[in-house]
Amino acid sequence: MSNSVMAHRYWNTNGIGIAIVAVRGMVGDWAAYIGAEPTGQHEHDAVEAAEQYGEKLSESHAHFLFPSISGYYRR
């Protein structure tokens, strides 16, 4: 997990790791992404996959999942 991941949520269903991550941007902003790791069962693999290749969440979904994170949401 890189230093840019501020928080994450993780689930494993039938051997597929699913992660949602809140990622810090370079100008004080942040964004959230969802991703999965179908070949592994390790939390850190799913978190890394979500950070690097995940689909960006809408601002409303991101704030619902990470209500304690404030600041500008990158669009």
Residue 17: pLDDT over 80:
yes
* Continuous H helices in the chain: 43-53, 59-65
Whether residue 62 has pLDDT greater than 80: yes
Distance CA 71, CA 55 (A): 20
What is the average pLDDT value for the chain, to the nearest integer?
A: 93
- If pLDDT is split at 50, 70 and 90, which confidence band does 72 have? very high
Q: Does the pLDDT value for residue 3 go beyond 80? A: no
pLDDT band (50, 70, 90) for residue 10: very high
| pLDDT band of 68, cuts 50, 70, 90 | very high
